[in-house]
């Protein structure tokens, strides 16, 4: 807040980066703990105060904000969490004379909206630009001398082994927006995990230190690029059929690896799953994931072919969609 005040007085521009759009993440009933959820996807609805609506960011399902809790009838159901829209509202109250622009998926949904906001900020028509990761992707604003990364550790909580890498990537990109002109830049990182190595190395802009620590982590737990990772996703509208396909797939692959004499004792194959996808249901389609780890890419390629063939030949499972990714 102090740095923003200095920048406004000096007539310089600032960027506030938060990797979450919307006003508040969810509505919560303090009486019973109810949180509105999308009926078509396994995610909670995101609250947008501009239009008083709840929205699913996966399938687009939208409803109006309930005045009372649909579960217990309490009138105290209210937003919690924060997003870019909420940050814009707070900044407007804190700095009423400042000209503020917000750039996220909501404000750029119309044709040309993305470029209009960037061009207006580049022309100096705003003092503060608030947005998600789309504002830190390589843009060059010479008058920007302050970047604030808010809740910088949000991406660290993702259920993905690359979350530290993504956090480091976003923070170094965000920091790179400040001081690109003649004036020196200043970057403020707000985090609840200031000792985390991805935060520390991003603040120091130390790529080698991050690489060293991240590779030690990948080797210890067996993640790419230390080992190969085959991700197989199967999906179907019928949950029972999907469960049958998952059982068959696991049985088929483990049977193959157990009977394959070409595999040496050192070529251990690690299976994880099948498990429900992080977002189990999207637009009424259920999804399961099977992870397979192996150092030998040729073996993983063969396993992928075997898995796809297994489902193709299975009777009654023709509707199950097979997808794979090899890292």
For residues 233 and 230, give the distance between their C-alpha atoms in angstroms, rounded to a whole number: 10
Question: Exposed/middle/buried for 3, CB within 10 Å: 0-12, 13-18, 19+?
Answer: middle
- Torsion, Cα of 149, 150, 152, 157 (10° steps): -150
CB of 145 closer than 8 Å to CB of 13: yes
* Average pLDDT score, the chain: 86
pLDDT, tens digit, for every residue of 49-90? Answer: 767 888 888 888 999 989 999 999 999 888 776 778 888 999
DSSP secondary-structure letter at 134?
G
CB of 51 closer than 8 Å to CB of 182: no
- Using alpha carbons, select from 270, 265, 196, 263 the residue that is nearest to residue 226: 270
Q: Which helix (H) or strand (E) holds 55?
A: strand 53-55
Predicted local distance difference test score (pLDDT) of residue 22: 47
Task: Identify whether 305 is preceded by a cis peptide bond (ω within 30 of 0).
Answer: no
Predicted local distance difference test score (pLDDT) of residue 83: 79
Helix residue ranges per DSSP H, 102-162? 113-122
Distances (CA, A) of 323 to 270, 287, 311, 312: 19, 10, 11, 13
| DSSP3 helix / strand / coil % (the chain, rounded to 5) | 35, 25, 40
pLDDT, tens digit, for every residue of 277-319? Answer: 988 999 999 999 999 999 888 989 999 999 999 999 998 999 9
pTM: 0.75
Residues near 120 by Cβ (< 8 Å), separated by ≥ 6? 101, 126
Predicted local distance difference test score (pLDDT) of residue 261: 54
pLDDT, tens digit, for every residue of 225-278? Answer: 999 999 999 999 999 999 999 999 989 888 877 766 555 455 678 888 899 998
For residues 244 and 184, give the distance between their C-alpha atoms in angstroms, rounded to a whole number: 60
- Torsion, Cα of 133, 138, 144, 147 (10° steps): 40
- Using alpha carbons, select from 229, 268, 271, 264 the residue that is nearest to residue 249: 271
């Amino acid at each position: 807040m102090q740095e923003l005040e200095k920048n406004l007085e000096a007539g310089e521009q600032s960027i506030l980066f938060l990797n979450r759009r919307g006003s508040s993440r969810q509505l919560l009933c303090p009486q019973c703990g109810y949180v509105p959820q999308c009926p078509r996807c396994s995610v909670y609805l995101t609250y947008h105060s501009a239009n008083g609506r709840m929205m699913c960011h996966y399938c687009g399902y939208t409803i109006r904000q309930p005045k009372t809790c649909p579960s217990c009838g309490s009138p105290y159901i209210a937003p919690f969490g924060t997003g870019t829209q909420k940050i814009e509202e707070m900044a407007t109250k804190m700095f009423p004379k400042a000209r503020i622009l917000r750039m996220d998926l909501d404000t750029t949904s119309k044709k040309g909206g993305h470029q209009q906001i960037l061009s207006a900020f580049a022309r100096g028509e705003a003092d503060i630009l608030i947005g998600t990761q789309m504002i830190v992707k390589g843009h060059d604003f010479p008058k920007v001398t302050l970047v604030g990364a808010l809740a910088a550790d949000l991406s660290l909580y993702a259920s993905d082994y690359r979350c530290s890498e993504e956090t480091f990537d976003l923070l170094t990109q965000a920091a790179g927006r400040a001081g690109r002109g003649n004036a020196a830049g200043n970057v403020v990182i707000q985090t609840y995990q200031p000792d985390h190595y991805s935060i520390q190395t991003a603040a120091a802009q130390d790529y080698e230190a991050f690489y060293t620590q991240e590779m030690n982590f990948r080797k210890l737990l067996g993640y790419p690029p230390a080992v190969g990772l085959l991700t197989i996703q199967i999906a179907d509208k019928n949950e029972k059929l999907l469960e049958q396909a998952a059982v068959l797939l696991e049985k088929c692959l483990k049977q193959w690896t157990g009977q394959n004499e070409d595999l040496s004792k050192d070529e251990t194959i690690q299976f994880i799953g099948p498990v429900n996808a992080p977002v189990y249901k999207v637009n009424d389609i259920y999804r399961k994931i099977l992870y397979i780890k192996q150092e030998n890419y040729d073996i993983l390629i063969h396993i992928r072919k075997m898995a796809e063939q297994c489902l193709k030949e299975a009777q009654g499972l023709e509707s199950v969609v097979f997808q794979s990714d090899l890292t």
